[in-house]
Amino acid sequence: MEQHQHEHHHHLPHLEIGPSEPTHTPLRIVSPKTYLIIGVILLCLTAATTAISYVELGVFNAVVAIAIAVLKASLVVLFFMHIKYSSKLMKLTVCSGLFTFLVLITLTMSDYVSRAWGRW
């Protein structure tokens, strides 16, 4: 028993890696006030996008609706999902994912737009 206990008292030397290391980002607690403000802005944008859809803007109805949706999604990602307060690794991960998605959408759409070019 005695022997067994002693074996476990070895301590591994701790590697001295400070909080500046990219994998050691300290937890940043976002205040409830920030969450509340973002929540209220999101609700206002929802009211705005519904109200604007009743106004005749031609092609800009879709443009404005998508722009407001992108703005709302950005607020959710930055504040509710903490990306504004996250490490560079996390920011880069999100950006590279969105970039890849945009490449796929753009290439697919440009194919559909240009397939019958000039034969409209």
Partner 1 sequence: MDSHTIAAQTAETAQLEHEHPSFLHHHFENLAQQREASTFGMWLFLLTEIMFFGGMFCAYLIFRNWYYSAFVAGSHTLHIWAGTLNTTVLIISSFTMAMAVHAAEVRHRVPLLRWMMVTILLGVGFLCIKGYEWHDEWVNHHVPGLNFSIEEFTHVNPAYPGDKPLAPDMAERTQIYYSLYFLMTGMHALHMIIGVSILTILLIKARGGAFTNGHIAPVENFGLYWHFVDIVWIFLFPLLYLISRHQ
Binding site for partner 1 (CB under 8 A): 1, 5, 8-9, 14-15, 17, 19, 23-27, 29-32, 35-36, 38-39, 42-43, 46-47, 49-50, 53-54, 56-58, 61-62, 65-66, 68-69, 72-73, 76-77, 79-81, 86-87, 89-90, 93-94, 97-98, 100-101, 104-105, 108-109, 112
Minimum CB separation of residue 48 from partner 1 in Å reads: 11
Nearer to partner 1, 26 or 118 (CB): 26
- The residue with tokens 């209220």 is 40
Residue 108's alpha-carbon distances to 61, 95, 102, in angstroms, are: 23, 20, 10
Q: Tell me, rounded to whole angstroms, the distance of Cα 47 from its chain centroid.
A: 23
Minimum CB separation of residue 97 from partner 1 in Å reads: 4
Residues 42, 75 contacting (CB under 8 angstroms): yes
